């Protein structure tokens, strides 16, 4: 069965803040640095885990994670020769950018295939454009016009300095209303505190989808009991190498063991993402 993992952290290890690195640079993730050493090693890792395509998650978060604006250029270069399998993911942080309109255009022109917004790590709400952070709307408008998906982290974060006051996905309701053609993904489906909110938003808005990365597959019946009801809107992701995620292949095996049936499994594991990214 084909696998499209929309949430792998293929990122510049050297930018990661020391206090963050301490949480993921352990025995369980001993090989992560080697995997991220080159595009070729990432592709070997994908092959070993039976993953056909993957989104390489990156975002600008100098205050919490250590990622500077140059992370966009890094992931664009890293994926440039392998766009058939690797989707470059980047972002613009309006708190660290004077001209958001020009920067989002520059970033997308690099070949970035998805924009990531991480409110607890970037320290702003998704609907902050309705207040003082008006330039945020420039990002959404440009992505909407180009058909580029925007992924929002939803749910809490355990990393130091993360601000979980921004963890609630409900502000994305405004985004979906104000930008009705914007392709929206709610990463982690609100886990662990906001699953019902994320589910509501996916059912309410035609343009909102959920990824189930970061949720232990065996826990899906508890975290996301109505997954089958919105199977057309669910995307597969693992969140590797985040804490607790040791093997993408193991996650897939555990998901298949839940018995959703082949039709739902194919939609979640590949077809929905392939359709979203127009493959």
DSSP 73-96: HHHHHHHTT-TTTEEEEE---GGG
Q: Which domain holds residue 226?
A: 4-276
Integer Cα distance of 101 and 89 in angstroms: 18
The CA distance from 107 to 90, in Å, is: 8
Tell me the C-alpha distance between 96 and 103, whole Å.
11
Terminus-to-terminus CA distance in the chain, angstroms?
Answer: 16
- The tens-digit pLDDT sequence of the chain (279 residues) is 899 999 999 999 899 999 998 887 777 677 788 898 999 999 999 999 999 999 999 999 999 999 999 999 999 999 999 999 999 999 999 999 999 999 999 999 999 999 999 999 999 999 999 999 999 999 999 999 999 999 999 999 999 999 999 999 999 999 999 999 999 999 999 999 999 999 999 999 999 999 999 999 999 999 999 999 999 999 999 999 887 888 999 999 999 999 999 999 999 999 999 999 985
Q: Which of 145, 61, 77 is nearest to 110 (CA)?
A: 77
CATH number at residue 18: 3.20.20.140
Give the three-class secondary structure for 41. Answer: helix
Judged by phi (left if over 0) then psi (alpha if -120 to 50, else beta), residue 239 lies in left
Which residues lie closer than 8 Å to 262 by C-beta, 6 or more apart? Answer: 1
Q: What is the pLDDT of residue 109?
A: 98
Distances (CA, A) of 76 to 6, 37, 65, 92, 158: 16, 15, 19, 14, 28
Q: Specify the 3-state DSSP secondary structure of 193.
A: coil
Structure tokens at 121: 């790590």
Token representation of residue 17: 């803040």
Q: What is the pLDDT of residue 161?
A: 96
**Amino acid 216: pLDDT:** 95
Q: What total of structural domains would you count in the chain?
A: 1
pTM (2 d.p.):
0.97
Concatenate the DSSP letters of all residues of 136-151 into one string.
HHHHHHHHHHHT--EE
Burial classification of residue 62, based on how many CB atoms lie within 10 Å of its CB (0-12 exposed, 13-18 middle, 19 or more buried): middle
pLDDT value of residue 24: 77
């Amino acid at each position: 069965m084909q696998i499209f993992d929309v949430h792998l952290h293929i990122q510049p290890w050297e930018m990661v803040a020391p206090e963050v690195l301490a949480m993921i640079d352990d025995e369980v993730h001993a090989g992560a640095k080697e995997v991220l050493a080159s595009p070729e090693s990432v592709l070997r890792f994908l092959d070993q885990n039976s993953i056909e395509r993957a989104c390489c998650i990156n975002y600008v978060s100098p205050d919490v994670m250590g990622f500077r604006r140059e992370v966009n250029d890094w992931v664009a270069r890293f994926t440039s020769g392998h766009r058939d399998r690797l989707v470059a993911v980047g972002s613009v942080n309006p708190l660290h950018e004077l001209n958001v309109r020009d920067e989002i255009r520059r970033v997308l022109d690099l070949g970035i295939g998805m924009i990531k917004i991480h409110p607890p790590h970037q320290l702003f709400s998704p609907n902050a454009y309705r207040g003082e952070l008006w330039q945020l709307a420039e990002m959404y408008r440009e992505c909407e016009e180009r058909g580029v998906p925007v992924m929002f982290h939803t749910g809490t974060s355990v990393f130091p300095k993360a601000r979980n006051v921004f963890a609630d996905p409900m502000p994305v309701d405004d985004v979906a209303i104000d930008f009705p053609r914007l392709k929206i993904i709610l990463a982690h489906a609100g886990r662990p505190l906001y699953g019902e909110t994320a589910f509501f938003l996916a059912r309410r808005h035609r343009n909102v989808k959920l990824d189930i990365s970061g949720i232990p597959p065996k826990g899906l019946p508890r975290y996301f009991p109505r997954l089958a009801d919105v199977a057309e809107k669910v995307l597969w992701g693992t969140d590797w190498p985040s804490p607790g995620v040791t093997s993408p292949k193991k996650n897939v095996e555990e998901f298949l063991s839940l018995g959703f049936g082949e039709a739902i499994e194919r939609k979640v594991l590949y077809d929905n993402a392939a359709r979203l990214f127009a493959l």
